[in-house]
Amino acid sequence: APESLMGPQRRGKAVAVAHVYGDYLWAHGSKRTLPKSERSAEEGEEDGCGSGEEEEAPCPTEGSDASKLAESLRTETTLTDFVPEAAKTPEVAEVPVDSVEAMDDLLESCMLSALRSKLALPMLASTLYSTHVLPRCPPGRFLDLKRTSHKKLSSYLAHLQNEGLLVVRESSPGVQSIVSVQREHPRLRTGCNLALPEPAPDSQEEVGYTFPQVRELRTVTAAVKPLFPKCSKGDALAPEDVRAVLRNYVKENELQDPTDKRMVQMDPTLSDVAGTSELRLSWEELGSRVMSRMQFAHEVRLPGREPVVHRGALAPIAITVAQRTGNKKVTLVEGLETYGIDPQRLAHEVQVGVAASTSLTPVSRGGNKQVLQLLVQGNQVVFLERLLTGPSYGVPRRLLKGLENAPTKKKQKAHK
């Protein structure tokens, strides 16, 4: 009943009207008529609104909504009348394009400005262009080598070399490096033709990699604790500090042999610490025995950071060569993070330097410790040695493990 539907509990059945005959939705469709029953046909004849089945639609009365809608639909309209103003395509202003001469001037100004700065030579040509030339492009301008008269960076560098501004060497096929810059050249001593922005203070030109200070340490163990009463178990000491404590102990207890200054008379404490029953030991042997009963550690001090002490012996950068499917060789590098070397940066430099694909994969080493392993296609030990020991990184050769995996000269000639 209607009362129950309108009540607070709203019980019963109801119909939600979504569309009625003769409304706007009907007018946009095929305008089909309703199916007629015998009763509706009789009522239609009595009303005189139609003449039977020949009529396709009822006769709307003049002034009704259906009549007004039909009249509006007969009005010719175009598609653009229904497009809002915001959706209409705006007029695109033409962007001025620099001519070849203007692009040449921009390239020359940016390059000369970069060559005047302090560069860590030798430097890859691609690094010079991306790191030092492009950042000097003025705001609102875009430097595009392809729109210059030189078309390629190698052609432009050859042009500068012919003019005596710099010296270019090809380290490998297709890979060029800037070896030196003639700073006394007249073109480098004059000002720029364009107002160029100053390089960012945090660019690689100002902030580069510096090999950290690394030193080996020894940690105090229970076996040597009586010799270090002021230290706790696990404290890290430098080898020279261990020897100083040992000398002070011998001097305070007058244990140095008066007849032979090179020998030390052992007391119960030194005998226990050194783990020996000998009555006398030389200074060298005593120090060696004490060191052997302490655990290894090492300290890494990166520029601008607090020193970090790591347990265990100092691990070198490991370079290995592995063989993959199809007799293909790959070079694997691990241990870069210990010395603060960015694996991604090194991977990019190797990729550009030898034109080989690289990848970085996290691997587990020593329990939960994870390091990034750099993979380079081919045997690239020679290039990695030259890059890591060069001025860019300055890694000592003693901290590189696996240099013996470099291909021999016979293999290199056969490969060529």
Query: pLDDT for 114-157, tens place per residue?
Result: 888 888 888 888 888 878 887 888 776 777 788 899 988 889 99
The per-residue pLDDT for 92 is: 35
Closest by alpha carbon to 33, among 55, 57, 54? 57
Yes or no: say if 132 and 177 are a contact pair by the CB < 8 Å rule: no
Q: What pairing do the DSSP bridges indicate for beta strands 166-172 and 123-124? A: unpaired
CA 109/CA 195 separation, integer angstroms: 9
Nearby residues of 269 by Cβ (< 8 Å), 6 or more positions away:
226, 227, 249
**Tokens describing residue 401:** 């493990």
Q: Is the predicted pLDDT of residue 51 greater than 90, yes or no?
A: no
Instruction: Quote the CA–CA distance of 390 and 400 in Å, as a whole number.
Output: 13
- 213-301 has CATH 1.10.245.10 classification: yes
SS3 74: coil
The CATH 1.10.10.2030 domain(s) of the chain lie at 100-190
CATH of domain 100-190: 1.10.10.2030
Tell me which of 215-219, 257-261, 353-357 is least confident: 353-357
Half-sphere exposure of 290 (CA within 13 A, CB side): 31
CA distance 148 to 107: 8
Q: What is the CA radius of gyration of the chain?
A: 43
What pLDDT is attached to residue 37? 57
Tokens of 300: 């890494």
pLDDT reported for residue 264: 92
Residue 30 to residue 28: CA distance in whole angstroms: 7
pLDDT at 404 over 90: yes
Mean pLDDT of the chain: 78
Where do the CATH 1.10.245.10 domains begin and end in the chain? 213-301
What class, spelled out in words, does domain 315-405 have in CATH? Answer: alpha beta
CA distance 306 to 245: 26
Bridge-based pairing of strands 295-301 and 308-311 is antiparallel
Average pLDDT over residues 20-25: 78
Scanning the structure block, which residue is given the tokens 């499917």? Answer: 325
Please choose, from the candidates 131, 152, 153, 133, the residue with its C-alpha nearest in 3D space to the C-alpha of residue 141. Answer: 133
> Is the pLDDT reported for residue 207 higher than 90?
no
Query: Mean pLDDT, to the nearest integer, of 59-67?
Result: 52
Distance from C-alpha of 335 to C-alpha of 314, rounded to nearest angstrom: 10
The mean pLDDT of 384-388, rounded to a whole number, is 93
Cα separation, 112 vs 191, in Å, equals: 9
Q: Is residue 81 over pLDDT 60?
A: no
Q: Which helix (H) or strand (E) holds 158?
A: helix 153-162
Say which amino acid occupies 218.
Answer: R
CATH 3.30.780.10 location in the chain = 315-405
Tokens of 322: 């592995």
